[in-house]
Structure 1
Amino acid sequence: MSEFFVDLGKVIAPSGVLVLGMAGWIDQWRELGQPLSERARAAAAKGGGHLREWLCEAVAVPAAADRVLMVRASTSPSPFDREPAIATLEFGLGLPWPETEDRVVPVWLGDLPVDRCGMVVGDAVGLDVWRGWDDEPADGLADVFYWGLYADNAHTQFGGERIARHGVDGPRGWLDLPVAEAVARAAELEAWRDRLHGKGLMVSVDEHTDVHRFQRAGWHHPLHAGAIDVGGCQVLGIEWDQGDHSMRHRGERATGQVYPVTLEADEAGEMVLRWAIPPYDFDDEAE
């Protein structure tokens, strides 16, 4: 049975090198010595390859530098809620399949785990300036969220909008506050909780790092995909539902939860990068 694909979004790779990597670790490449773009360029010059150092992992491949590249996905039911979850990601590279290579045989590049923080695909040079969780937000802003047993009481006391997400009501809170104001508001909520209840209210402050920005861009997408600008390039981030991640991908590399990445030829004879995640076997659950 052939797979049915849906469009997730578009990316550009003006450097001619496309990277698929773990969003939670993109910023750590520069802390390990050689920038991601240099490692990726070397791998792409050999036709593509898998990059791994410490907990950082990515795949880098050559891509057309002069056009928009499409990202598509097929789905299978999640074991968490039976909703559609990504089974295969396919990235058009805009380059002809090499005449010296057999179009029928995929080229294996390695394997990748599903990062709990999500995955990102984009230009290798653009991703060199990726802002991770510990980096300062470029715009100086942050979002504040609160939820839990006493969320309604907190809303009566402090206000806050409902921050809707696809398929769920989402937490309450405030978007686009200056960081100092966001931290102060969260402290007010926590002090009120501790004074009256001691527990029953969760509060978070998410600064506008690139990790948070791509997750926010995907809030209303059924597959949690969203595009943002990083280093002057449009990149696409894909966040996994945490319940689905817990049941399918938890443990990641350490427990062998990794999935093959290949280069293949599409029907038009152009190169595509594919990352295939096997569907969950519900029959095993019944045994």
Structure 2
Amino acid sequence: MSETLVDLGTVNVPSGVLVLGMAGGIDQWRDLGQPLSERARTAATNGGGHLREWLCEAVAVPAAADRPLRVRASTSPSPFDGEPTIATLEISLGLLWPETTDRSVPVWLGDLPVDRCGMVVGDAAVLDAWTGMDDEPADGLADVFYWGLYAADAHAQFGGERIAQYCLDGPHGWLDLPVAEAAARAAELTAWRDRLHGKGLMVSVDKHTDFHRFRRAGWHHPLHVGAIDVSGCQVLGIEWDQGDHSIRHRGERDAGQVYPVTLEADEAGEMVMRWTIPPHDFNDEDE
């Protein structure tokens, strides 16, 4: 564990079971049989393990319920743009390594793909309430974005602010509108485009679901990490750069792009969960 780790934030785990899971499917576990919390509790009771159903995957482990748990990462340069990307994700679990277990040997828990929708770290029971892409927002609000060939013309007609994302100017649009107003503005933009151009303008309405909130919270973080409150607990979301994902992680599990998750002991003898994503091997491009 000699690499340099940077702090990403903390999570709260009052149920005593922590989950690292694929963000695109967190809300779908409840539709596939047992809720995520029940599956995760069973895995944690056995020391931790990998969960998989259909396209949903996660790893669950026991964790301290009485304190915030630190999440850190090491980085490596992306082959897409050279920017730092997560190479190792390390989550402190707040529990002592068992005295009867050799601390020099990592415990294999399974492996996970990098979900192009992002990853979530949080309490298993809290994540049962996670709202996904198609759910309704608890605050009744949404964001509207538009971009494309005719964005300047649309801005002259409708206005809207430049919304900075990931150190870029980002699209035009409006934040924090009531859902009905957001839908009406999107409809106006779409009707204007269809009437004058037919194409050349993309319009989206992102309701304030937990899925959208974590992505928005990471707009200004160099590693696209955002912390949000879900049912009174802090949850961390990690979004991957889409260009980097397409080069390193495309195909995900179907293409064998999966990375090991282990339990290990830190220098103080406490348990940490580590997800290790090997740096891109530029030599492979010459073969």
Gaps spanning 5+ residues in structure 2: where? none
Q: Is residue 7 of structure 1 aligned with residue 10 of structure 2?
A: no
Q: Is residue 106 of structure 1 aligned with residue 106 of structure 2?
A: yes
- What is the SS of the residue equivalent to 1:121? strand
Q: Using the alignment, how far apart are the partners of 2:208 and 2:127 within structure 1?
A: 16
Q: Which residue of 2 aligns with 1:201?
A: 201
Q: Is residue 83 of structure 1 aligned with residue 98 of structure 2?
A: no
Q: Deviations over 1:184-211 (max 9, x none)?
A: 1011111111111111111100011110
Q: Which residue of 2 aligns with 1:273?
A: 273
Q: Which residue of 1 aligns with 2:36?
A: 36
Amino acid at match of 2:121: V
Q: Using the alignment, how far apart are the partners of 1:3 and 1:196 within structure 2?
A: 55
Q: Using the alignment, how far apart are the partners of 2:85 and 2:99 within structure 1?
A: 35
- Show the 5 A alignment for 1:40-59: 40-59=40-59
Q: Using the alignment, how far apart are the partners of 1:181 and 1:167 within structure 2?
A: 28
Q: Which residue of 2 aligns with 1:183?
A: 183
Q: Which residue of 1 aligns with 2:212?
A: 212
Q: Deviations over 1:123-158 (max 9, x none)?
A: 011001000111111111110001111111111110
The alignment's TM-score, normalised by the length of structure 2, stands at 0.98
Root-mean-square deviation (CA, aligned residues, Å) is 1.0
Q: Using the alignment, how far apart are the partners of 2:111 and 2:151 within structure 1?
A: 42
Q: Using the alignment, how far apart are the partners of 2:224 and 2:41 within structure 1?
A: 29
Q: Which residue of 2 aligns with 1:234?
A: 234
Q: Is residue 251 of structure 1 aligned with residue 251 of structure 2?
A: yes
The alignment's TM-score, normalised by the length of structure 1, stands at 0.98
Q: Which residue of 2 aligns with 1:148?
A: 148
Q: Shift in Å at residue 48 of structure 1?
A: 0.4
Q: Deviations over 1:227-277 (max 9, x none)?
A: 111122110000001111111111111111100000000001000000000
Q: Which residue of 1 aligns with 2:65?
A: 65
Q: Shift in Å at residue 166 of structure 1?
A: 2.5
Amino acid at match of 2:208: H
Amino acid at match of 2:246: S
More off after superposition, 7-16 vs 195-204: 195-204
Q: Which residue of 2 aligns with 1:165?
A: 165
Q: Using the alignment, how far apart are the partners of 2:3 and 2:186 within structure 1?
A: 45
Amino acid at match of 1:34: Q
More off after superposition, 118-127 vs 160-169: 160-169
Percent identical pairs in the alignment equals 84
Q: Shift in Å at residue 32 of structure 1?
A: 1.0
Amino acid at match of 2:238: I
Q: Using the alignment, how far apart are the partners of 1:270 and 1:104 within structure 2?
A: 12
- What is the SS of the residue equivalent to 1:38? helix
Q: Using the alignment, how far apart are the partners of 1:256 and 1:233 within structure 2?
A: 34
Q: Using the alignment, how far apart are the partners of 1:2 and 1:153 within structure 2?
A: 53
Q: Which residue of 1 aligns with 2:127?
A: 127
Q: Shift in Å at residue 121 of structure 1?
A: 0.5
Q: Shift in Å at residue 91 of structure 1?
A: 0.2
Count of residues in Structure 1 that have an aligned counterpart in Structure 2: 287
Q: Using the alignment, how far apart are the partners of 1:203 and 1:80 within structure 2?
A: 26
- What is the SS of the residue equivalent to 1:139? coil
